Chain A
Amino acid sequence: MASMTVDVSPHAGRGSGPRWFWNALAHGYVWAWMAIFALPFLATLIYSLRTPDGVWTFSYYQYVFGSFRENLLLSFETTLITIVINLLIAIPAAYAIVRYPIPGKSFILSTLNLSLYTPAAVMGVSLVIAYAFLFRIPQTMIGLIGAYVVGTFPLMLVPIIVALRDLPMVFEEAARTLGATRMQTFWRVELPLLGPGISAGILLTFVIIFNEFLVTLFIAGPGLTTAALRVYNLARTAGFQPSTAALATTMQLVSFTVVLLFFHFFGSRYLKGTYLI
């Protein structure tokens, strides 16, 4: 009878080595890569928890609750405002680009990502020049957010364009024939179905802006130090102190937590794309 059993394991027929060995190898491989990616962060974390004499301590984290809290808040504030502005620009723009025949559409689409390909330093210099001489708004919050929007709205626009393109017209038409106005159709049908694209745009914008420091360095005035810029400044002035590492670790954790929360609340619903099967 034993000869009748069929080995359905994925390793059937490999012919050598017990199954546990291959399993261990596969898992080990994955974990090794995870470790390599996590290593810099872990090193920073450990560095922030030890005095130069090798004593474990949380004391460096006291700086986090000082002025760094304000830096973090400013980061959140600018990121959120930028995301909202990006959304307000990107959703109507995507709608116009996808649903209406506009002249030069392919040119618009191909140049859309231009600002993403511009080196941050070049962008910073250009913006400083433009702000100082054209708009006369150097070193203000408006200027900073303007810079962020210019630099990142394609990150919001492109995923929404893709989502809207993939959204069959039939849902809009069904809504219209059922008596929905254009506005009702947009709010009740299109916006929820664009969820995956919008979520992707929000996430990308958040990750980029929250961690951005180079353009900020050029644009932001003395009163406008974001968390990322603060970490950079500290590394430059104070050197790689455990206190610097503590701020860096905190920033990393905050950024991480936001992304994880985002996935938790929207991930299963939107990012897996289960909506449109």
Chain B
Amino acid sequence: MTRVQLVDISKRYGPTAAVEHFNADIADGEFVTLLGPSGCGKTTTLRMVAGLVDPSGGVIRFDGQPMNAVPSHKRNIGLAFQSHALFPHLTVARNVAFGLEVKGTPKAETERRVAEMLEMVELGDYANRMPAQLSGGQQQRVALARMLATDPRVLLFDEPLSALDRNLRDSLKYSILELQRRTRKTAIYVTHDQSEAFAISDRIFVMNEGRIEQAGSQLDIYLRPQTEFVANFVGDNNGIPGEVTGLVAPGGEGEPRLVDLVAGGIRMRGLDPGNVRPGDKVVAFVRPENIEVLANGHVADAPNIVRGRVDQIVFEGPTVRLTVDVDGTPLKVISGGLERLTLLDKEQREILLRLQDVTVVPDDPAVAA
């Protein structure tokens, strides 16, 4: 039952800023993910919520109450670490009981709760094992049981699956989501793995160099990246520098606003980022899977339709990956379905492409540099 607000949070270590002007309003029961490359400030942000790092500026609120002065052990949070961080000298049961014991919970109540938690993570039979006697996945599940035992207000996860192998990661991420849904607790999850973020989040905060680049749903982030960084970091993308040539009059209610531009010599029509005018430098992004290979007979005389020469073909089974040279601009193209098989003999031949769902972001000199 906890709304978590981070208001203009910053953290500086000497001259370097680990986190800058971080703002987030996380609803009760919401599952948000901080996604970004290593070193972008995700852990620091999470640890400030946990009370393990003091912000240099800004306010953290739980349900409106300022938390900055509340020490970690009084915040009533659950934190899952990259390493499971189980106490190596305590049994599984004593690990799960730890938070209850230090709070002085009666013994009978503690035992009941520990049994319930271990049952929930399906490790009821492992109560008397030592952590070192468990597999990596089991250890992380005990860690989950331990953090849930004290009924925390907020669940915090710092790349809890990154030390596990792929299969385990895939199954455990859904276990985490399910536990969060069942307990209806607010959760903040940190990861650099976008597939993880996409699978489990209500909302994703993409971070870069201590700042939020974009916050939104999976669809927002993927289909409507607002910055060059997000467009490049999330999924595969073709980024083509260009210039806005005109704004397209809106088609009607609910229709997306579009702009005309020329990028890499290609005339395109793309999604209006809302803050550009004719003559502005921009970068047009089009995802490889959004480039359609057109059958013969089309003409290259409309926006977003270009002719190019196939440089390279890689057959990947379900998809075919092409590199197409369009007037010196290399475009990555992914083709699926049956039509992909018709492309296999097109090496060094000319083909016609239609660029769909072009997104446009203002050119950020800092990123280009």
Contacts and interface: CB of A to CB of B under 8 A. Distances in A.
Interface of A: 168, 170-171, 173-181, 184, 188-189, 192-193, 195, 274-277
A175 to B, nearest CB: 7
A181 B150 CA distance: 15
B85 A171 contact: yes
Interface stretch (B95-103, B314-322, B329-337, B339-347): B95-103
Contact of A184 (B52, B88, B102, B146): B102
Contact count band on B: 20 to 34
A-side interface mostly: helix
Contact of A179 (B52, B81, B150): B150
A195 B102 CA distance: 21
A192 B103 contact: no
Nearest to A189: B87
A195 B75 CA distance: 30
Interface string B73-100: 1111111010101111100000000110
Contacts of B88: 193, 275-277
B311 to A, nearest CB: 49
Interface string B9-34: 00000000000000000000000000
A62 B81 CA distance: 63
Interface of B: 50-52, 71-79, 81, 83, 85-89, 98-99, 101-103, 132, 146-147, 150, 156
B136 to A, nearest CB: 13
Contacts of B50: 173, 177
Contacts of B102: 175, 178-181, 184, 188
Contact of A275 (B71, B75, B89): B89
B73 A180 contact: yes
Contacts of B89: 192-193, 195, 275
A274 B71 CA distance: 32
B52 A188 contact: no
Minimum-distance CB pairs A-B, first 7: A178-B99, A177-B79, A180-B102, A174-B85, A176-B72, A170-B85, A192-B89
14 contacts: A171-B85, A173-B72, A174-B79, A174-B85, A174-B87, A178-B150, A179-B73, A179-B74, A179-B103, A180-B102, A181-B102, A188-B101, A188-B102, A275-B89
A178 B147 contact: yes
Contacts of B52: 173, 176-177
Contacts of A176: 51-52, 71-73
A174 B73 contact: no
A176 B132 CA distance: 22
A266 B78 CA distance: 34
